Structure 1
Amino acid sequence: MKKTPLLNIALSRVIASLGHGDVLLIVDAGMPVPPGVELIDLALTRGVPDFIAALDVVLSEMQVESHVLAREMIEVQPPALQVIETLQIDGQLGRQSWVSHEELKVLSRTAKAIVRTGECQPYSNVALVAGVVF
């Protein structure tokens, strides 16, 4: 059995397969998933799992070079934003970029996979760009 926190087989496989520059999105329950992009649906019910829990577990295994957020997040201020800001300060998320929510949806078409959570706070979405550990 694995010693790291991530137990989900599909998510573990996707993270292990990421190359430098590949994109993985962690999204709320309402974010659309484009055709052809792998969906790892963790959502069980409203709020379970929440965005923050999913992000924490992904970051336990993924090296992140940068991340992209929707500007609308600034206006709505979901709880995830404060956590992301703290992780940004701690250097766990690399460079930060802001785009419109529509642009984030366009970016999602290039994602290796999208991880859907049960989060129901609007705009609780982040695109993580894979880095390298060396």
Structure 2
Amino acid sequence: MRPNSILHPELAKALAECGHTDIIMVTDAGFPIPKDAHRIDLGFYAGQADVLDILRMLRKEIFVEEVAFATEVKTHHPDLYKNIQEIYTGSGAVFKGTTHENLVENLAPKAKVVIRSGSLNAWANFALVASTDPFAWFTEENIEILPAYVERRKRITENEVPSLSRINGQ
């Protein structure tokens, strides 16, 4: 066994195959997963494995530049919103609000992997956009750092708390 690493071989492989801008969906137990999706089912009983546990684990394993979720999370489930903010504080990720329909109809079919939790937590469906380590790229002299990397580095350095501020992908 590998200490402090993902034990689920299919999940470890799927994450290792992701690249910059790939989408990783993390869903509740009832999310309608597309039939052709690369589905990794971690739900084994109502409430287990919880979507927040999965997101916490992913936070340690992958770089994420964007977390998209239904805007209702902020207004209809403030505890879930607060938990998501805590998980992604200092990650450099930005929050993008969208509709549940957009998650189902557009983002899930584009996802490289869909991880289903056993969570019965309302509104608990998230599209994570994979990224790269913003401090590992653009390290050579005489190379201009892209503005997006400058901004992500700043959000990480300043331990910024992400906030949902706009609708995307409607």
CA distance in 2, matches of 1:7, 1:59: 16
Percent identity over the alignment?
29
CA distance in 2, matches of 1:119, 1:93: 26
CA distance in 2, matches of 1:79, 1:6: 27
After superposition, the CA RMSD in angstroms is 1.4
Give 2:73's aligned residue.
73
AA at the equivalent of 2:77: Q
Structure 2: stretches of 5+ with no match in the other structure = 137-170
Corresponding residue pairs, total = 133
Give 1:4 deviation, angstroms. 2.3
Give the TM-score, by structure 2 length: 0.73
Give 1:32's aligned residue.
32
Give 1:118's aligned residue.
118
Give 1:61's aligned residue.
61
Q: Give the structure with higher Rg (CA).
A: 2
Normalized per residue, which structure has more strand? 1
Distance 1:9 1:78, change over 3 A: farther
Give the TM-score, by structure 1 length: 0.92
Give 1:55 deviation, angstroms. 1.0
Give 1:43 deviation, angstroms. 0.6
1:103 lines up with 2:102 in the alignment: yes
Give 1:78 deviation, angstroms. 6.2
Which of the pair has the greater relative contact order for Cα pairs under 8 Å at 6+ separation?
A: 1
CA distance in 1, matches of 2:28, 2:78: 11
Give 1:129 deviation, angstroms. 0.6
Give 1:93 deviation, angstroms. 5.7
